[in-house]
Amino acid sequence: MRFRDKVLASNIILLSIALGILGYIMIRQNFSLALESLKEQALLQNNLVQSNVEYELLDIMNSDVSVAQISSAIPEIGTRVHSGMMTMDETIFIYFNEQLLFQGGNDTPPDDTLFDKLTLGTKHVLLEKEKNFYQMYVTSKNVIHDTNLYVVTKTDVTSAYTLMHKQIRFFKMGLFFVLVLCSLLMFVISRMLTRPLEQLHLVANRLSDGDYQARAEIKTKDEIGELAKSFNLMACSINEHIDTLTAMIKQKEQFVADFTHEMKTPMTSIIGYADMLRSKELTKERQVLAANYIFSEGKRLEIMSRKLFDLIYLSQNEIPLKKLSVTRLFEEVTQSVSPMLTAKGLTLSTTLSPFYISGDIELLKTVFINLIDNARKASKKDDIITITGQATDDCRYQICVTDNGIGMTKEDVKRVCDEFYMVDKSRTRREGGAGLGLSLVSIILERHHAEWFLESTLNQGTTVIITLLPWKEEQQ
């Protein structure tokens, strides 16, 4: 069952119950008022009859008469009272000495229950249904010469019940037409209210079918409008995640392709030169040359495998950070890079203010050795590689590594952290690189919660700026 049909059915049921209860209360109230009005008229009529009968008996009771004489006078008195006061729908019954002495009309006399528990000065009202008519009996009691005198009036109150039945029939017809009209109106309103939900349903189906650009165009300023906004935000988030996953898949595919290619090149050289040494007679010079190729390519494979292992390890594990002196860190870095810088005729200039940072000395050494090595590959003989470091206003420590080498284009800067990406592949391989250095640098700095960015201009040089967190005593 559709939601709008549930809303429609629920509203019709509730409306029917509400109108039914309201109609019952109103009809019942009108009936009660009408019946009460007829009762008051019947009581008033009974009082008049009783008063007239007693007035007629005064002359007789003033003289010394017996009960038998009174009984014989009552029929005549009843006739005069009945002819003078009664309407066509009322009847008089007069009882004296426990006998019915007068009956106006041919109606059946009431039973003796009218007189049960009736006391002097009170009236007894009894409502009875006779065939298809409703009659109201009002009984009054008086005592004359120690004998009970009962005056009973009978009034037809069928009109109250007839009015009630007419009102019920009219109410049923009115209720039917009101429900039909309200049902049509509620159907139209429910369609208008649930149309945005249907649109959300259609958009959800489009999303499930792979159309991640689908959006709900709902502008209402209510809960459904808020739901539509949340739905669109969810769709945007899904689209972004899909794009991210797609990019990750492409990146992994590119990684596998690059890794395969990088493995293939040295392996081809190693297998080729090894086969040459195994199957051919070579001169000593050719043997040394082949062995050198095998050794250099094997070292490149070793470096590549070690850096790949570091990348995988760092991606899956947290690093315990310790208190680390910047001065000590760069003393060890300088010792490690001095031989390769000297071999190319480069100079390393360091200007560092003392500071304690939070980090792992071995991993940070890897960061700066990689950065200096990249600067070395990009620099010419007699160039200077500059490293400066100082505390910032927010109590962090900023280090800049600058060279005046060949620099990079903006496109190279965007991709320089991709695995196996090389700005100049021939130069990188010639220098023993594998295109993993800055990828490793990025992950290490990320694990140190450090910020870094790279600025480079083609043929002018490159600057890497790294901001490290300070050591805090509460980290102990």
User: With 60 as the cut, is the pLDDT of residue 265 above it?
Assistant: no
Domain boundary among the residues 148, 165, 182 is at: 165
Please give the order of strands across the beta sheet that includes 347-352: 347-352, 384-391, 397-403, 461-468, 451-457
Of 185, 114, 187, 183, nearest to 148 (Cα)? 114
Between the two ends of the chain, the Cα-to-Cα distance in Å is 64
CA angle at residue 364 from 361 to 365, to 5 degrees?
80
Distances in whole angstroms, Cα of residue 141 to Cα of each of 16, 80, 253, 265: 49, 20, 113, 131
Pairing verdict, β 451-457 and 461-468: antiparallel
Give the total number of structural domains in the chain: 2
Domain annotation covers residue 468: yes
Tokens at 472, concatenated: 């805090």
Domain annotation covers residue 205: no
Give the type of residue at 252. K
The DSSP output letter for 115 is G
Give residue 427's pLDDT band: very low, low, confident or very high (50, 70, 90).
very low
Distances in whole angstroms, Cα of residue 377 to Cα of each of 384, 399, 419, 422: 12, 20, 18, 12
Residue 461 sits in a domain of what CATH number? 3.30.565.10
Contact 262, 435 (CB under 8 A): yes
Domain annotation covers residue 231: no
Query: Which tens digit of pLDDT belongs to each residue from 274-315?
Result: 888 888 877 888 888 878 878 876 776 676 566 556 656 666
Residue 41 sits in a domain of what CATH number? 3.30.450
Domain annotation covers residue 346: yes
**Domain range holding 342?**
318-475
Residues 436, 428: Cα–Cα separation, whole Å? 11
Lowest-confidence region among 68-72, 106-110, 436-440: 436-440
Q: What is the pLDDT of residue 396?
A: 92
User: With 50 as the cut, is the pLDDT of residue 419 above it?
Assistant: no
Q: What is the mean pLDDT of residues 382-411?
A: 88
Domain annotation covers residue 49: yes
Domain annotation covers residue 174: no
Domain boundary among the residues 122, 147, 165 is at: 165
Domain boundary among the residues 134, 165, 196 is at: 165
Domain annotation covers residue 256: no
Give the type of residue at 84. G
Contact 468, 359 (CB under 8 A): yes
User: With 70 as the cut, is the pLDDT of residue 184 above it?
Assistant: yes
Domain annotation covers residue 73: yes
